[in-house]
Amino acid sequence: MQYLFSLKLFLDKIKRNEKRLYMMLKLIFIVLLISIVSVQSLTETISDCQLLIVGGTTSAFGAILSATKFLGRNVCLLEPTDWAGGQLTAELLSAPDFGGRVLRDGNFTLDVGYIDRQPENRNPLFSEMLDQLGDTGHCTVSPWCSLTEKFHDEVVAPRLKNARIFYNTVVKRVRKDSTGRRITEIDTIQRTPRSEQPSCRFLSDELPDWYSPNDSSWFTKSQLTFTNFSFIMEGSSWGEVLALANVSYLQGLMEQYDGDISGKGNATCGQAITYTYLEQLMAEPTEEPPNPLPKPVAGGNYSLANTSWENIWVFRRVYTPTNSSKSIAVDDITIQNWSLGDDYEGMFFFLSPEETQRQRDTDQWQGGVNIETIRNSERHSYGCHYWYRDQAPAQWANRTVFARASSTGTCHHLAKLPYMRESRRSIGYQNFIMNLTMITGSARNLHGYIFDDRLCIGTYPVDIHYMYTCEYLSYQNMDYPVLPYYIPLRAMTHRDIDNLIPIGKTMAQSFLVNAAVRLHPVEFSIGQAAGVVGAYAVHHTEIKNVSEMLDELHLRRIQSIVKQFTPMSWTINGKRYPDD
């Protein structure tokens, strides 16, 4: 009886409080629902990009131009800045380099530079873009040097007006399927500046903000998740997809011999970076504020060496009222990017693979790069400007100033991003790596190895900007006879990921091959060819692996389309190699 009485009291108590309990549960449910909706509203899912290009390079720019011809707005480009174009724009080098070396074998001479500049060997769209502004600088480094701002606004941007681009967007995470061989989702952060004025923060201060999902006093943020794409293109300047996907890659000097894929070399040394800037020559001596930045760590030393102040000025000059590369005039504007000047040779740009992995696995991703290297490179370039100003001959003393902010798109006068000479590099299908034997040889050979799966052509000498803090193996030098060469589809594959297309500096290539492939014209042609590859793979839904396009039937179809965009054969002395 006592038990029944206690049970009755318990049930009465529940009955008296059931209304209160019901209200509490209802309130909890509403709070949970609001929280779920809020989280979902912070992340937008984009599922209609069949081909996703992770960009930031001249290769990515070339790729979206060709891919959009076939896929329209079903191809998407993720651009980390507000200037697409990579080296040509955001990295502030609108004075493209071309191969210019003359090779000799006894009494036989091969003028590679002349061959490279022949119209039949040039990408027609790239030539059209360069010809649009012409050589407004009468520089000595290139037949075409023009103002970066004008090149972006008048040449690049109009050609992208129908493209689907997510500007100011960086990659935060990469997800793969259960097999680990397909990338299925990309998490990104897109920032919207709160002000229309160019940013006055240096990249070393601003970069963590780019990768943070939280709004800041400078930006509002959107989290975008890209999914349901068929193929993804690694066209980033820093090889971030390779690092975030947790796949094998090479960086810097991770080779004990050319083409080595063991990864046992030095991952913390490689090419120097350069923070490019513009200088203008004033009509009268003009005071500038003192250098606001301290001397960089492992930097701050500059030299004209065996050249002159005048030669440096006209080397990458992008505007002049004169008609001669030998004259200097008031209102001249020049790009500063040279090895004994603003090249920062003190610290390597990329974090070690171990540090990169920690940044990725702790969800603290910020590009996998060394922010201290960026900071010291900024300081080094500022110091170079003031040093070079002090070196001016009497005629031009105190008349060189930083060019106006709009010319660089930043109010600190430096480029939006540092100029990169290398990236993280893929290891291709069946461990393929482009090595020196494929692009070098005797002048009498005329050209490099002709791959069955070739997609485009290029040439440039091995060009290493050494870091003085590093030791290089004896073979890691620039004394190689680089011939007119070919780029194969296999270089645009990855052994671990079936739907990844690495392009430009992230291709499957050795350190030394990258040093000969990394220049503007070659990068653009690679991108144009890769855009065709990506579009073809999307249209042929039976293709699940990039390597499947090495099948002869697919390959011949792809090559026939690529020819409409960029040359695949070299024309040398009036003859095509190969003639197909």
Q: At what angle do helices 371-390 and 203-211 cross, to 10 degrees?
A: 150
**pLDDT category, 310, cuts 50, 70, 90?**
very high
The DSSP symbol for 268 reads T
Percent of the chain with pLDDT over 90: 90
| Position 100 confidence tier, pLDDT thresholds 50, 70, 90 | confident
Q: How confident is the model at residue 385 (pLDDT cuts 50, 70, 90)?
A: very high
Residue 420 DSSP label: P
The contacts of residue 180 (CB under 8 Å, 6+ apart) are 496
Specify the pLDDT at position 11.
45
The predicted structure's pLDDT at residue 37:
39
Q: Give the gyration radius of the chain's Cα atoms.
A: 27
Confidence of residue 560 (pLDDT cuts 50, 70, 90): very high
Mind listing the pLDDT tens digit for each residue in 417-438?
999 999 999 999 999 999 999 9
Query: Mean of the per-residue pLDDT values for the chain?
Result: 93
For residue 196, what pLDDT is reported? 81
Q: Which residues of 60-90 are buried (b: 16+ CB within 10 A; e: fewer)?
A: bbbbbbbbbbbbeebbbbbbbbbbbbbbbbb
- What tokens does 353 get? 């693979």
Burial class (CB in 10 A: 0-12, 13-18, 19+), 459: buried
Whose CA is closest to 172, among 367, 354, 370, 39? 367
Q: Does residue 13 surpass a pLDDT of 80?
A: no
Q: 98 versus 504: which is more confidently predicted?
A: 504
Q: Would you say residue 34 has pLDDT above 70? A: no
CA distances from 1 to 5, 12, 14 (A): 6, 17, 20
